[in-house]
A and B are shown apart, each in its own frame.
Chain A
Amino acid sequence: MSTGNSPGEHGDVLHWLYQQGKRRAAQVPGFDAEKLMGRARAARDAGAVDFWSVLSPVERSHFESAAQLREFPPGTALMREGERAAEVMILRAGWTKVVLDEDGQERVIAERGPGDLVGEGGTEPGNVRNASVIALGRVQALVMTTASYAAFIDEYPNVPDLVKRQTHERQTGRPERPWSWPGSSR
């Protein structure tokens, strides 16, 4: 029988795949469950949402007046992994990267640009940042405190409040309505 490397040279493709898989099964690497779970949470929280574009003009002007427009020079951190999350931000100009610290190595899990809401963890009191957000160029962001964001969401119940939905799920164990996180798949 041929030892060729094409599945097409084998009568039984599945058997060919099985033998390849069996060879590798002996070398299975170990994974760290806590690290994987932490990264998965951060990746979920980094799901991109163009928040700004779904707001109405009234909601935008309210958001702007309740938030503070801040500027971040290239390379500076809008928020840092591990810090207490006390604010949410909407990027108005410039791009950022969402990064995790892995044993001193930086791992980029997402990029966020104008209109995106970052730091959703800051919409609930007592949260800690799952990831850092670093300015790639000069970045302008509307920064809102947790308390102001809660008031904003209360006033405009139609705003797609991701975090409220998450909180609802945690409390009731079921989704408020079907929802998939954009950008959560590869």
Chain B
Amino acid sequence: MTQEPYGDPASLLRSVLADLARAAYGLLGHHADAEDAVQNGCVKLITAWPRVAGLATPGEQRAYLIRIVLNEALQILRDPHRRWEHPGVDAAERAVTQHSFEDEIQAKEDLRLVWKAIGDMPDMRRGAVLLRAAGYEYKDIATRLGIKVSTVRSHISDARKQLSRTLPRG
């Protein structure tokens, strides 16, 4: 892998696109929404390119792009009107357990509070938490964000405490 920083936004995007796709889809579960998140991230990347081009290593540039795409995905997640394309196992569970209408409302409200709390976290912790919520292991998160595994652990641990305070009934 080259140690020279990327010279243009398109080559940076190509090198990290598989990660962006997985992270955005892991969070959003919806193809078009995930595509939107990556695209919106690319708009930010292009406009911020003079700054991104000045980053010292390609790893820092990749981490930057991953974080802005995750933030775009988070924004889309917090839209109360969005729908899931692949509800996965949850839909089957819901059919079996027959939650009441009140339970459904409560679940939505819980989730809203969780995403809001995550959105308010400091940049790196939010990145670590969003990658975790997209199904990544600690060492993958560390590579993607260009930080140490122990740092990821402490971010996740702090976030877990913070989130359990957000939903005290848990």
Contacts and interface: CB of A to CB of B under 8 A. Distances in A.
A40 B46 contact: yes
B9 A6 contact: no
Interface of A, secondary structure class, is: helix
Interface of B, secondary structure class, is: helix
A44 B46 contact: yes
Interface in A9-55: 9-14, 17-25, 27-31, 33-34, 36-37, 39-41, 43-44
Given A20-B88, A25-B135, A31-B20, 19 more contacts: A3-B97, A7-B111, A7-B167, A8-B106, A8-B107, A9-B170, A13-B167, A14-B133, A14-B163, A20-B90, A31-B35, A33-B17, A39-B42, A41-B46, A43-B40, A180-B47, A181-B47, A185-B44, A186-B75
A161 B42 CA distance: 23
Interface residues of A, number: 44
Contact of B170 (A8, A39, A43, A173): A8
10 contacts: A3-B93, A13-B170, A21-B27, A23-B135, A25-B134, A27-B86, A34-B10, A37-B10, A43-B43, A186-B75
Nearest to A46: B43
A146 B44 CA distance: 27
B84 to A, nearest CB: 10
Nearest to B41: A40
A157 B96 CA distance: 68
B13 interface: yes
Nearest to B37: A186
Interface residues of B, number: 63
B65 to A, nearest CB: 11
A6 B135 contact: no
Interface of B: 9-10, 13-14, 17, 20-22, 25-27, 29, 31, 34-36, 38-40, 42-47, 49-51, 53-54, 72, 75-76, 86, 88-90, 93-94, 96-97, 99, 103, 106-107, 110-111, 114, 129, 132-136, 156, 159-160, 163-164, 166-167, 169-170
B107 A7 contact: yes
Contacts of B26: 21-22, 24-25, 28
Interface of A: 3-14, 17-25, 27-31, 33-34, 36-37, 39-41, 43-44, 169, 173-175, 180-181, 184-186
Contacts of B136: 21
A28 B49 CA distance: 27
B40 A14 contact: no
A22 B25 CA distance: 10
Given A3-B97, A169-B50, A31 B43 contact: no
Contacts of A7: 107, 110-111, 114, 167, 170
B54 A28 contact: no
A169 B53 CA distance: 11
A29 B20 CA distance: 11
Contacts of A175: 50-51
Contacts of B13: 33, 36-37
A40 to B, nearest CB: 3
B169 A8 contact: yes
Contacts of A10: 170
A185 B76 CA distance: 11
Given A12-B160, A36-B42, A37-B10, A21 B133 contact: yes
